[in-house]
Amino acid sequence: MWTNKEVRSIDEAYYDDYIINTAKKLHNKRKSNEFIKSARLIGKVIGHLNQYIGDDFFFEYRVRYLIMNGIFEIEGVPRVMRFYSVKLRQS
């Protein structure tokens, strides 16, 4: 039974910092700035959110947005998340 739950609208960039910080943690854990499969990154983001969100499409859309805006570098073909990898662009 669902109690005290409500659906709220958020800005589409709401989770961008969380996605970036998750990528930083994955890089730190590997002790390198190598490419990470985007499916791994998105899986970590969804798996560690304390929310009821299961929209892989939304998070992949945001990763692609971060690629287009120079936050991430890409390797591979961005057709579906298993075909490409990302890494944070070095400042």
The SS3 assignment for 46 reads helix
**Amino acid at residue number 31:** K
Q: State pLDDT tens for residues 49-82.
A: 776 666 677 889 999 999 999 999 999 998 888 9
Q: How many helices (H) and strands (E) does the chain have?
A: 3, 3
- What range does the domain containing 23 cover? 16-88
Q: What is the pLDDT of residue 70?
A: 96
Q: What is the pLDDT of residue 49?
A: 79
Q: What is the pLDDT of residue 53?
A: 62
Answer whether residue 11 is part of any domain.
no
Q: What is the pLDDT of residue 25?
A: 94
Q: What is the pLDDT of residue 47?
A: 85
Answer whether residue 9 is part of any domain.
no
Q: How distant, in Å, are the alpha carbons of 1, 7, 8, 34, 42 from that of 4? A: 10, 10, 12, 42, 28
How many domains are contained in the chain?
A: 1
Structure tokens at 89: 């662009």
- pTM score, two decimals? 0.84
Q: What is the pLDDT of residue 48?
A: 80
pLDDT band at 5 (very low <50, low <70, confident <90, very high): low
Answer whether residue 10 is part of any domain.
no
The rounded distance, in Å, linking the Cα atoms of 13 and 77 is 23
